[in-house]
Chains A and B, each alone.
Chain A
Amino acid sequence: MHPAPSIIFFTVMAGAGYGLVIDFCLAVLFLDLVVEPVVGAIIVLAALVFAAAGLSSSLLHLRRPSRARLALSQWRSSWLSREGVSALVTFIPLTALLFCYGLGVETPWLVQAALIASAIGALVTIFCTAMIYASLRSVPSWHQPLVPLLYLLFGLMAGGLILMAILALSGMDIRTIIWPVIAVVLVTWVIKLFYWRGAAGAGLSSPQSATGLAGNLRPLYPPHSEANYLLDEMGFRVGRKHSVKLKRLALILGAAIPCLFLLLAQILSSPGVIASVLAILALLGGMISIFIERWLFFAEAKHTVMLYYEDALAGSTSR
């Protein structure tokens, strides 16, 4: 599939924003994270900014963005619609949370309720985003339960790294949450490795089932001699070598660097500049790696329609 920058940006950023919400909620509920209202406000604001940036980027992918509001109407059947609805609905508790922190409202049940509601919304949103892709039988590598799991994990990973950076920057001690974040990072990449192994699997369909023609089939005479929408959109190919390199890079940036730097932060320091720098570097590495991962997620995915075109694409410069 064509790795459209707008969609990569959308899924990564929205995932990070909503992941941050979930991470924050979990940290508050289960790791006893307590933050100053200002810091809380910054975290929530960051989540909103990430989510909003992602969602607006998704609009860039639309050829008729002015009709985007209609996208909220079909939540009964469409994951994209559900994603839109839930992304927006989640903005309500998130905004409430922002107000709580911003205005210093200290009603714990209110904050907690808003936090939990936001996290649930965020979880649903990430799941819906993932299901946009995972529901497509036409793209076999996407059509598996690992996909929502990975979207969630990458969201949590990005969110965790962001949370860490914000906390470090605001001078807080991040050591209590480093281990869980490292755990998320590692689990995420282990599962992603698993996905990468299996994703190459052929899927259900073959040129024979796609056409009903028997034999050792080869698409030879494409319908049109130049590229078309389907080829532009779905005919993307990544060289094997290129892909291996990118995966290695992603693992270094997304697994090795964050883990190493967070470990360093754990060992080295109390709150301060060093911890902040390390956390920011971990975040940068993590984010870049997720962009690479997401690029590959699209670029490596094969659509069944390519069964009708494959050779013509691979074969030659001219048809």
Chain B
Amino acid sequence: MDLALNEPTGDTVKTTTCYMCACRCGIKVHLKDGTIRYIEGNKDHPVNKGKLCAKGSAGIMQQYSPARLNKPLRRVGERGSGEFKEIEWDEALDVATGWLARVRATDPRQLAFFTGRDQSQALTGWWAKQFGTPNYAAHGGFCSVNMAVAGIYTVGSSFWEFSEPDWDRTKFFMMLGVAEDHSSNPIKIGIGKLKQRGAKFVSVNPVRTGYSAVADQWVGIRPGRDGLFVLSLVHELLRTRKIDVDYLARYTNAPWLVIDAPGTEDDGLFARNPLGYPLVFDLESEAIVSSGKPVDRPALHGNFMLEDGRKVRPSFELLVRRYLDPCYAPETVAAEIGIDAPVIKSLAAEMAHAAFEQEVVLDIPWTDAWGRQHEQVVGRPVSVHAMRGISAHSNGFHTCRAIHLLQLLLGSIDVPGGYLHKPPYPKSLSSLPRPTGISEQVSRNMPLPGPHLGFPTWPEHLLVDEQGSPARLDRAFSWAAPLAAHGMMHAVITNAWARDPYPIDTLLMYMANMAWNSAMNTTDTIAMLTDKDVRTGEYKIPRIIYSDAFASEMVAYADLVLPDTTFLERWDCISLLDRPISDAHAPADAIRRPVLAPDRDVRPFQDVLLDLGARLGLEGMITGDGKSLYPGGYRDYITNHQRQPGVGSLAGWRGGEGTQRGKGKPNPDQIDRYIENGCFWREELPPSARYLRHANRDYLSYAKEMSFVGSTAPITMNLYSEELQRFRLAAQGHGNTVPPAAERGRIETYFDPLPFWYAPIEETYSRQDDYPLHAITQRPMAMYHSWGSQNAWLRQIHGQNALFMHHDTAAARGIADGDWVWIKSRHRRIKVPVQLVDGVNPHTVWTWNAIGKRSGAWNLAKDASEAKKGFLLNHLIDDLLPKESDRPAASNSDPVTGQAAWYDLRVEIEKAQPEEEAIPEPRFPDIPLYAGLVKPSNELRFGARFRSGH
């Protein structure tokens, strides 16, 4: 046979960054005659090292999806009807400018700008700041802010994508509540390495799929109990004395002296010297000294007295007393968490064994922050990774803190074999920004004086007025959710509809399918989007502008649709100012560049934002004479915008000559340098700056030079959180900023300076007897939220979903494989098909996330499997907790961070009646074909024309 074995892949190859999910892998796009022939992983790229996931390979089908929007749309029918007319960009931008200019001139708060899968938050946030509204955030509040905040307040970095296990050296790896995560490919590459080396891998997860399937040990925990589980491990480590005392003494606030003066305004705060340095008791000099200089042997327990007579104790003593309590003993907690006591004990022992009997010693000389030289780095090769199984609960913040506490006790943060920060982290709380947006900071036609989002460390940092009412529409940074560092996007539609705390005029959304899978309580959310004021006949949310690239469910609810390009048609930057692509040993950032020109009348949203900014005359977006400062659009901005002098979107090839990195003047050729380098920049840290970076002089000086941190002072890790205690004191009535009476109990309870476990709050309302089962979702590895269903290849893999249920749980309810059932929560009921499995905690049912689609959406046929068989769990999840007599209904969220508590859901399941139709419920009217879209053919022969000789 004569085979065409030497056919070049294409005629052109362009590197860029994948956007089929948030992992941001480097890809090489091969084009043939202007069509994409093949997308492959870029072997040189630090994120994926040539690997490519299922979604990434299916990027071609995203590019050629028939659900792509074609042209700006203006609503003509009722909102939600999906009836639009196509309009020109000029008209679209005029309309938007008109609406926005009015808002800005009257009350900037009346613009709420929220973004979903946004990878340009540095731009969108800045734009909103320049506009002057306090109401901006991305999706982090419903995603995993619990991880971010617990991490930052404890260790200065966080799970999510701001740290990684040391895959090359870890000997014991525990994963909690992870199905896939943002680091899709890196985690898989890492697991591959563990397998190669034979390191022990434990997965704690109610469900045994994916990673849990290849784990050496699957721990099928009951949802919402990880805090108790982890604190029981802590109990065991303390009981058996398997902790790294030196590490604690040196790098954490374990020795810091806590004031013991109940009822006073300093109770539970650290004793400090006049310069603000916390105090420790030095066992050598037997005196209380400042922690500002190193103390080799600080007291970790004992009662001491300050000069002014106040009693103090090292914070570690409080910790030890709390967790040694038998209430955390494995035997005590086993039944609640659904894991046998011997399993808990043996996991603790294995961790201790790996940490202390198998320590990793690297001969890397390094200097600590106090100038002391060390010849070696000692690693405790125990690592942990955790994500939404922890964060998507209302107790997730404290659970995540508990995990970090466990890691700190083992001395395994930022050491070989442990958990490694990714630059620009770690950061100290003191160097991070505070939120901006109280009414004094909002003025007509003026920018906001600071960033929207930040990390409050004092009650005074909250965005509340005198009465304690929230300044932000979503109530982030109010007493409802004081540390809501990513905002609370899940509260926006409800609050805007209820005009509580205040009404808004325009809702601007980008890349978030809030009328479907990213809403809690989808049914009511849809109703709110279309609800009208009976008196005026106006929509309760008067104007909605939405940017999407595809025919999503949300598009139907917009008054004005700004169609975006696909990720292969635009510029983007993945910036160190936002969510960079660094790995543990190298800061890195990247760009996306257009590999194809759009064949439709669509524009990159970033370009549109800058254009709107210029039309609105926003500071920083116009020149002195009112012209656009970035006529070249986002590319222009990426190159030339400076956040502070010398600091811009990209860190690589800065300065006139392109020889600087981190800081330097804008370089007009910067983007070309990126392109030459495969669209990323990465700078490897020298070995001496790779570990213990919270107290590593080489690293800290580097980080300062790069403006990752404000100073080279060591970053102390917080076992005990004084910040939380400050809020608790406020709840006790101390200080000037105190919560309203109705909130005090909550704040006092949940702002515990040491991690604790409480049952997910939903369980107070969904009692065990009525709703005995937990219902959760998982991300399928081969599908990304809602947007993969338009993908001809991915929808063959996951075209429908069933509710997975344990055989025994089903049998007890007379349910058989394939039956249709009603799932009931306290909020609502839905009808779904069931599939029986073994590998699931018997108290838990689960399904794949976001597979179910609204009929007609995504330009799928109305009888597509996604609509006729798939379903969405979100209808069952209330966004509010029931109203209590003394206070308004609280958000169904973590009380500390405002993180949406998706996985607190409790349900009961009952078999559907035989006469009921085998179709998921609830059902909604079909979405019509949006204007400009064409019904696709039922035959696809992609690639036929590439075949040689054909």
The residues of A with any CB-CB pair to B shorter than 8 Å are: 220-221, 223-226, 315-319
Contact = CB atoms under 8 A, between A and B. Distances in A.
Contacts of A315: 817-818, 835-836
Interface stretch (B250-258, B346-354, B796-804): B796-804
B859 interface: no
A317 B818 contact: yes
Nearest to A315: B817
A317 B798 contact: no
Interface in B199-214: 209
A290 B798 CA distance: 42
A318 B802 CA distance: 6
A226 B866 CA distance: 11
Contact of B798 (A220, A225, A316): A225
Contacts of A225: 796-800, 865
B799 A316 contact: no
A318 B797 contact: no
Contacts of B798: 225
B797 A224 contact: yes
Contact of B818 (A220, A221, A224, A316): A316
Given A220-B837, A225-B865, A226-B865, A317 B918 contact: yes
Contacts of B817: 315-316
Nearest to B793: A224
The 3 closest A-B CB pairs, nearest first, are: A316-B818, A225-B799, A318-B833
Given A220-B837, A225-B865, A318 B818 contact: yes
A226 B799 contact: yes
A110 B49 CA distance: 78
Contact of A316 (B209, B797, B835): B835
Contacts of A220: 835, 837
Q: Which has the most chain B C-beta neighbours within 10 Å: A225, A315, A319?
A: A225
B809 to A, nearest CB: 16
Given A225-B865, A226-B865, A316 B796 contact: no
A226 B817 CA distance: 17
B562 interface: no
Contact of B833 (A223, A224, A316): A316
Q: Which has the most chain A C-beta neighbours within 10 Å: B802, B818, B833, B835?
A: B835
Interface in B792-819: 796-802, 817-818
B869 interface: yes
Contacts of B918: 317
Contact of B802 (A223, A224, A226, A316): A316
Contacts of A317: 818, 833, 869, 918
B150 interface: no
Contact of A318 (B800, B836, B837): B800
A221 B213 CA distance: 13
A224 to B, nearest CB: 5
Contacts of A319: 800, 802, 835
Given A223-B797, A226-B865, A317-B833, 12 more contacts: A220-B837, A224-B796, A225-B798, A226-B799, A315-B817, A315-B835, A316-B818, A316-B834, A318-B800, A318-B818, A318-B833, A319-B802
B835 A318 contact: yes
Nearest to A317: B818
Nearest to B851: A225
A256 B918 CA distance: 43
Contacts of A226: 796, 799-800, 865
Nearest to A218: B838
A223 B782 CA distance: 11
A232 to B, nearest CB: 14
A318 B804 CA distance: 11
Interface string B294-334: 00000000000000000000000000000000000000000
B913 to A, nearest CB: 16
Nearest to B795: A225
A318 B831 CA distance: 13
A315 B865 CA distance: 18
B279 to A, nearest CB: 58
A221 B818 CA distance: 14
B84 to A, nearest CB: 31
B378 to A, nearest CB: 41
30 contacts: A220-B835, A220-B837, A224-B796, A224-B797, A224-B799, A225-B796, A225-B797, A225-B798, A225-B800, A226-B796, A226-B799, A226-B800, A226-B865, A315-B817, A315-B818, A315-B835, A316-B817, A316-B818, A316-B833, A316-B834, A317-B818, A317-B833, A317-B869, A317-B918, A318-B800, A318-B801, A318-B818, A318-B833, A318-B869, A319-B802
B367 to A, nearest CB: 52
A222 to B, nearest CB: 10
A243 B309 CA distance: 93
A225 B870 CA distance: 11
A201 B800 CA distance: 34
B765 to A, nearest CB: 31
B572 to A, nearest CB: 32
Contacts of A221: 209
B796 to A, nearest CB: 5
Interface in B801-860: 801-802, 817-818, 833-837
A223 B818 CA distance: 18
Q: Which has the most chain B C-beta neighbours within 10 Å: A220, A223, A318?
A: A318
